[in-house]
A = this chain, B = another copy of it.
Amino acid sequence: MFLTDKGNQPDISIKVCGYSKMLEIISSKWTVLVFYALENGSARYGEMGRRIEGISKKMLTQTLRQLERDGLVMRHLTPTIPPRVDYSLTPLGESMLKPMFELKKWAIDNFAIVEQARDRFDQTAAAHDFAENE
């Protein structure tokens, strides 16, 4: 932690930053994948489980509950035997699609550049390490 003298308090925090509010909603890697699975319409629980690579039942349920709690996703239970459960975006969830799409587009358009930057950075870092071990 940094020391902060009185009269010069921190003004950037999770509580006031809009980006942080956003992250609070799409915090985990599973959240975005579930959101992605629902952006074109409703889907069943098991169906999503099979489509999303590497997700466990525990995390699928937990992620869906969290999105449901935030009012972005709704759950529809058909009480047959065995039961059938469909999930879909709420209007609030759908209102997130447009801004999310903008950012997704940025990522798709620029991720190659980011990866090139990473390679350059790792190269020069390695070269630097080599130099100081001589």
Contacts and interface: CB of A to CB of B under 8 A. Distances in A.
A32 B53 contact: no
A107 interface: yes
21 contacts: A1-B55, A2-B46, A2-B56, A8-B50, A11-B51, A12-B36, A13-B33, A13-B54, A17-B33, A19-B35, A20-B32, A20-B33, A68-B121, A70-B118, A71-B113, A71-B116, A71-B118, A71-B121, A92-B114, A99-B103, A102-B103
Contact of A29 (B14, B92, B100): B14
- Categorize the interface residue count of chain A: 35 or more
A107 to B, nearest CB: 4
Interface of A: 1-4, 8, 10-14, 17-23, 25-26, 29, 32-33, 35-37, 46, 49-57, 68-72, 92, 95-96, 98-100, 102-108, 110-111, 113-114, 116-118, 120-122
